Structure 1
Amino acid sequence: MIRSFFRLSSLLALIAAIMAGTLDSIQSVSSSTVAITSLGNHWQSLDVVSLAMAEAAVAHYIHPDAWRWVMVPVLAQPAFAVFLALALLFWMIGYRRPRFAGRFSA
């Protein structure tokens, strides 16, 4: 059950990475320059209120400086790279090694 959740999360993060990479490549082709959008810019263009609420929640429940020291560098990274890293992490958590059948198995 838990592995299925992490595999589904990995799939959703991979889909988000593909969508972010596709948007960046479309912008790059249309402007004839390399355009890489950060995760913070994507989040801000989707919903500014949730970004402010997340910042307030991190400052209130974790530590006031946690947003500045942890989340700001993550939000400055390219969106496709962050989602690819999350997809890999979730896949590694939900991975099940193949069962060893043994030497004389059929």
Structure 2
Amino acid sequence: MDTLTYSMTLAQMISRAIEQSGKTKQQVAQASGIPWTTFCRRLDHPEKSFLTIPEVISICDALALNFIGVLSEVEQSVDGKQFKSEALAEGGE
């Protein structure tokens, strides 16, 4: 599994979940106990600074999301992207 793709997909999904929750990023950062600068770096630059498991659990708790469900959704999305990438490399759709 490509960890960079996984990290970027996870950050995108969490950012969308925050938008849908009606909470601000700052509220979620505070509720999850992650310093604001770290929180922004993890979500805005996941290619440089990966979210840790404890951070994802805290964010999921702050957003009332199921941690395992979030990871499963990310994995399915990453697998789908990799499948498409492999198909394109082989000349398929």
Q: Does the alignment reach a TM-score above 0.5?
A: no
Compare relative contact order (CA 8 Å, sep 6+) and give the higher one, 1 or 2.
Answer: 1
Query: TM-score of the superposition, structure 2-length normalised?
Result: 0.31
Query: TM-score of the superposition, structure 1-length normalised?
Result: 0.28
Look at both structures and tell me which one has the larger radius of gyration over its CA atoms.
1
